[in-house]
Structure 1
């Protein structure tokens, strides 16, 4: 198959101006590309580092035309872009990932259907599309469970725990009566993710899976390597992630999140059609970051298996850190953090800290995993974060 290669000096486009768009733009610029960002927020992180900012809604017709004229290829930094915008771009410019693949990732019901079709284990579940579904006695077999909106949920949003059929009906109404997925609550031992990249020629490369720790539904830390990840689990997760990328005929960077259950079995949780928070450590711990791979897949450059040269622990920095115990705004003690060996601080340029808002991340690299972990724990103590 002949793949058109877009050489450095060309312009690339990105839909979305958040931190993922910012880090993509920085990787693209290092590789010699100009970047155009389409984003409605004037102060968005990606808009701060790109020369061209199309400030408009993602489905603004004039802005989409301008992006297609300016960019040789376009990617996205978050999945909840209007389908109409993705479909239009897919027809007029080289888009990666393609609109049909993103459509699956936008919808938990479609995602679960894909996993089932490909033979990738996932949690027992049912689609709740109407009140009759919510009150169907057959749903009792999935209780206790978690009711999740099929679309637009992230970082723990759009989810409600339910124990009875009465609670299920109440939760469905509380979530707006939209299509939801009811998942059986499973006994989890740990969480992990696989970040990979697939090119237009079908070649797939991946990073070693990282073990993840969530707090309040938001990723708190990622460990690469993960102390509790055995070789058999790692191989199963990589094989499943590759199968999903092939099944979607995916192009670009894809993250698949998995649960390891109490009995050691592995189930797929969800996927993201873009670089992922859990892969941020690759900027500092690998010879190619996930954003470098995003650029390569987009422009048709060869995908080479990335090499992790350092053990790493990545900590998310949320808006709470910018407030003292009395709720007064203050700057975190970066000097104490940066005095630690192997510290890599990444702040996203967001102007207003808010609880739960991702303001940056902090990665510690070391020769050994226990060294990186110890330094990350010292950073937690300096920042007032609960240890892990």
Structure 2
């Protein structure tokens, strides 16, 4: 709901000038609007109905450089009437925009001055709101970090604190963690850290009917979804897409964020489990391109076990002598790929041969050669398991070498 003080500023100016007034936040999301005086256009109606305007219109308006304005000015918007834009600032900080529609092209100096004064008053209100929000956000982030602490006593206190904050009702009984990570190569600069934090916070707005809490730490963040039912794929996709889109708009158009979704739990004390799963899923998204930018726990196959290994142990375990022997003899780089295709298709000769675009007889010859070099038999369950796990470990080990800090 709009802040009452902010609403009174809007209503007072509207009645004084007999013009409709609106205030948006810096991302052009509606914060408060007056009644109309017959000067509304389709853009204003859409803004009031949807609390925002289409992304392409946002881009068009921001392209006028209004984020740098320190005094009221006029903005031409394609497909809509011109507008008087008064930047809402306090202590030099941009907090939003106050808008008046220029229906008759006859704003007086008195009206422009009144808009500027109202914008200054709104700036005080919004700065107070921002400070309260930041204080509350810091408190919530502190509790969330304690909720996933390694110390059971700390987690127990965090559960009590969450209940005391009354952030969600008893009907919200499903807790799911979504992590988001910005690769370090893209997150070293402070402006990008700020953009990352703002993008994650913007992503929470995709969760309309339930509760979403966030905690950030430089280039890594996580969101706790508190809902009546486990989150749908569509909701998780919407949150991830919104965060990515916002970060690219604020930071880098080519930026790549990765996400990991943990399993849903029904007890607050088990959120730490969902958190750990989400971290491993995000690691899969970062290291293994096959999972895309959003990996979900429960869909990672054997990697859910393998990624739990500490990197040093995993690198050591990937040194499988039988595979090393095959690789040493694999002068044309076909034997390892043949073995991978064989396992990926469950040992089905025809499907594996089709995937490799070779004849069945050729595949049999390669498998026989692999068995001769490795000393293993693909008719042996233990040998199959060792070779298959060895191949998966090699994939992760190669990814760790490419991303040594992950």
For Structure 1 versus Structure 2, the TM-score category normalised by the shorter chain is: under 0.3
Q: Could you tell me the TM-score, scaled by structure 1's length?
A: 0.24
Tell which structure's C-alpha radius of gyration is larger: 2
Identify the structure with bigger relative contact order (alpha carbons < 8 Å, sequence gap 6+). Answer: 1
| TM norm structure 2 | 0.24
Greater helix proportion: 2
